[in-house]
Structure formats: C-alpha cells, structure tokens
Structure 1
C-alpha cells in the first residue's frame, strides 16, 4: 500500500481513556508528558494531523522547552499546524506559569545568601540571549523591595554607572542591594570587566552608605558569587 494513502492517527482514534484531557482528569497534570500538556493548550489539530502530532512538532522546533519562553509569535506560527490563535494560547500559558512561579518566590523572599539571590533570579535570567544587568534593592531585613533591570547588553564599566543604581536605591529607600547579570554563554566565570564594575559599585556604596552585598553571575542553571570568590 502506498504511504500516501495511509491516514495519520487522529485524536479521535486514541482510546478515550488515553486522551490527554481524560488522563489529566484521572491522574493529574503532573502525569502528562510535555507533548500532552502542549496538546491540551492547542486544543485541536487540523484535518490532516492530530493535535498530538502538532504538539510534538512544537517540541521538535524548540529543542529546549524554555526556548518557548522567548519565542516570538512569528517563530511559533512558523511551525506547521500552528496559527496565530494557538501561538497566543501557548505564550499566554507560559507567561502565566512564569508569573505564578515568580509570585511564590516574591511572597517569602529574603536574601540571606548568594544561593537565595540566584534562586530568585535563575528562572528569568538563565535562558536570556543577551546580558541583563539586574539589581535587587533590599530593606533593613534584607527583603526584596524592588527589582530593576539597569542595562541590557555587554557589560562595560563606562555604561553600567553606579549613579543609575544608587539613584534608584535612594528613591526606594533601600538599605542594601545585590547586583546580578547573566552570561548567555552559560559559563558564569567572571570577566575582568565584571570584577571592575563590581568594585566601582561597591566603592560608590561605601560613600553613599548603601552596601553592595554581592554580585551574582548567572550561567546555565548555575551561578557564581563574586563575594564568595573574594572579589569584593
């Protein structure tokens, strides 16, 4: 028989008990694969393909699941079977999950160690494609009162100026702060420029009376604390 005459399996061909929605109801969302969860979000397939086939193509197109987080609508709609409405559904679900995760952290967040700062920032910063320089502003109890991205691009001491950081710190009545930036290469080892920027910010903090507690560099699900490494 010619392969052209073989019809692809549709979701209706799957036994009802094995369909993603039914399995979620019976066993819970945690029991489903990434493919099945995406299929539920997409809701329907096309006349030619089941929603499970399309979900699998999404996973194939974005090799790492977290790449979807930064995908543009145009990138997602380039996947066969995905129109604008489905792309928007996916992006909305991803953003909602990110906000829920961040809210859980923010509800209880006090910085007691470099690990605390890294945990707070890791989900948002580990997969960024450009360097982001972020500052956490803390109160006297070391609780985060504000987070702000100060600069996006390659770190340079002449661009990341302490005045931008401490203007915001004074505005927020911050008692101290933690700086952080990511290395898109995935390697969090500090560069000479990273160390120079840290020392400039630390010196400005001494003068103003707002202490720089640490500078954390985020890599690929790993981090380095410049304070722990003895650079400050």
Structure 2
C-alpha cells in the first residue's frame, strides 16, 4: 500500500508547514509509513534538521493519537479468552516494528482495571523484571494480570526467551499473590496463548 501522499499531507498539516518543506520530505524519506514513524524516538526525530524538542514531542503526540484512533470502537470490558486480549492489542502494539511488553490488570471477575506498558525494545527475561511488572498491579489493587507482547515479524511462535520470561512471571505471581493468568503474544493478524500451549 502506498502511504506517501496521505502521509506527507498529514505531516504537513500537523506541523503547519508546506508538503514540499525539507522537514516533511526528510520525515517521509526516513520513515516510509506512519507505522514506522510511530516507533521513532525523540532522539531520532531531533536528528532531523528543523525538528527541535517541542516539534519532536508534537510528532510523538500525534502518533500516539493515531494509534488510539486505530483501535476498534468497541473494546472488551472483560477478558474471557486470549481472543479478547488479541482484539485489544492487535491494532496498537500488533502493528509496531519494535517489541513492547504490556500487562492487563484485572478485577476479581476479570474486568479490565487498566493496562500498562512495562518495557519497550528487544524482549528478554533480563530486561523485563517481575518487580516492575507487578508494581502497577499492586498500585491498582488488581486481582490478577495478563502479560502481552508483540512479535513484529508477524510470527507469534513463542521463543525460548518468551517461555523463560513467562515462567519467571508465574513464579513471581505465586510469591506476590497476584496470579498471572496468561501470556499472549500478538501480531496484527494472529496471536498465541502460552497458557493454551501449556507453557506456564
């Protein structure tokens, strides 16, 4: 799909500059699609001539809004299956080109209390600490959590690192007293539940 025209136009309007401006041209050249721009760090944006801290934050805010608008209008209020998790996250982290690790915090009846991003970048068990994972759940008085992360490749097959992380989270959940009900890997078009595969 060719995003070039609409992408350039959207950037022009968001930044209040002409489509032919060097800033827009460089953004389109460096980040081929809006999905690529969603992954851009503030440092990467500021490396472009004409983009300072304020404009970089402006672009990142616009990308966050775009990600929210890409979510389905109706999202589940309760988690009844891994499919519900997939339906929530396929349009947010499922479309990203970088891995993100999130949790869903649940009530006693599996109602969604909230979600929290725990880490961003290459996922391994040394970067995702159980303590950091459960702190938001403790603060929100969650009864349980579900772990979620994306595979940018589109292949949701659990890696050895995914399995190791899941086991560490399960062990920590028993100590803390907040069960980790599942670990779901998502992409834009598919998902895998580690619980359904008996990997936790």
User: Which 5+ residue runs of structure 2 have no aligned equivalent?
Assistant: none
- 1:226 corresponding residue in structure 2: 194
User: TM-score under structure 2 normalisation?
Assistant: 0.69
Query: Match for 2:102 among 116, 122, 134?
Result: 134
- 2:185 corresponding residue in structure 1: 217
For the 8 Å contact 2:150–2:186, the answer to whether it is kept is: yes
C-alpha change, 1:166 and 1:52, in structure 2 (3 Å) is: closer
Shift of 1:226: 1.1
User: TM-score under structure 1 normalisation?
Assistant: 0.61
- 2:34 corresponding residue in structure 1: 65
Shift of 1:190: 0.7
Shift of 1:188: 2.2
Distance 1:147 1:211 in 2: 16
Matched residue pairs, number? 192
Structure 2 matches for 1:192-207, cutoff 5 A? Answer: 192-205=160-173
Structure (1 or 2) with the larger CA radius of gyration: 1
Structure 2 matches for 1:34-183, cutoff 5 A? Answer: 34-45=7-18, 51-52=19-20, 55=24, 58-73=27-42, 75-76=44-45, 82-84=50-52, 89-99=58-68, 109-126=77-94, 127=96, 129=98, 131-152=99-120, 153-156=122-125, 160=128, 162=130, 164-166=132-134, 168-183=136-151
Deviations 1:128-177 (A, max 9, x none): 53x44322110123222132344455422x66454554555444322221
Structure number with higher helix proportion: 1
* Superposed CA RMSD: 3.7
